[in-house]
Structure 1
Amino acid sequence: MSTSTTFHIRTLDPLKDAELVHGWVTHPKASFWLMGDARLPDVEREYMGIAAAEHHDAFIGERDGEPVFLMERYDPVHVELVGLYEPEPGDVGMHFLVAPTDTPEHGFTRAVITAVMAHLFADPAVRRVVVEPDVSNKAVHALNEAVGFVPDREIDKPEKRALLSFCTRAQFEAATAQAEEVRA
């Protein structure tokens, strides 16, 4: 896969994108998204709620006009991690999901998480990205580490045991610069 893959990230339209996202979040490869049994109206309702929320946003990532990933950004002071860690100014939470495909591309998911992180850090107010993936999701732990995340500790959320991890802007820049050196 080319290291010059570019993505366009746009706001998710809960009604227009619901059918597409429904297929992604109910796919067996999206088991950690915890929506495997969701019906289309459930997905519409979930993303309409996110669209209306003050501290939570959802986005679709596109490559060459084709939707290829879902990204959520949230304020962990108000969503997901309330009372589970000590937030710092400039913290932002993130989830991402790559669309299932029958023709996987080597390095594609890493390119997606790199683009997601670059998008988040494009906001100068963001100082640190916080994630809380399921402790058993080893694939995402490796991806997170590749872009600079450092695990902090396991936490208990209502829906899962999660690995709380953080990535500062400097950690992200160092990790992606190191990856570029390896490819050069």
Structure 2
Amino acid sequence: MVFFNFSKITIYLFLGLFFIPKLSFSQSNAYNADKFHFGGSLALSLGSDFSNIAVAPSIIYDVNKYFSAGLGVQGSYVNWKNNFESYIYGASLIGLANPIDEIQFSAELEQLRFNTTYENNYKSSFWNTALFFGAGYRTNNVTIGVRYNVLFDQKKGIYNEPFMPFIRVYF
């Protein structure tokens, strides 16, 4: 299911992650660079028959003490020797709520494009949409928790489980 043209949106989001905080505003404007926080994840898993390399930067803006909203992009390469090779990319919208300092609730709408070539040269390309709701324990800029994909479908999706643990870090 495709909601948007995510190839263009992904490029705009990626550029926005790097250029929005660099914009200069006058003192009279309400812009506050301290309300922007960068985070994301890096993954590297290498073995004799398997490789997984992933980069997923994100940026959030503190709307107030209790709510933050942001954008993320991600890209990864997965290769399982004699089985398949995949290129995965996409974007996400992120919402965070902190009712108290130690608790964080999250909602994330994720749209990923999967391009996979199997060993027999069969190719599969599709978009996957996920809507995660999560909760976690937060201390300073680190949150540890679990999220649940409410759109999970064993037959159509790319995730093999609807629950996914996470560690979220923003600076």
TM-score interval w.r.t. the shorter chain? 0.3 to 0.5
Query: Rg: which structure is higher?
Result: 2
TM-score (norm 1): 0.31
Give the structure with the larger strand fraction.
Answer: 2
Give the structure with the larger helix fraction.
Answer: 1
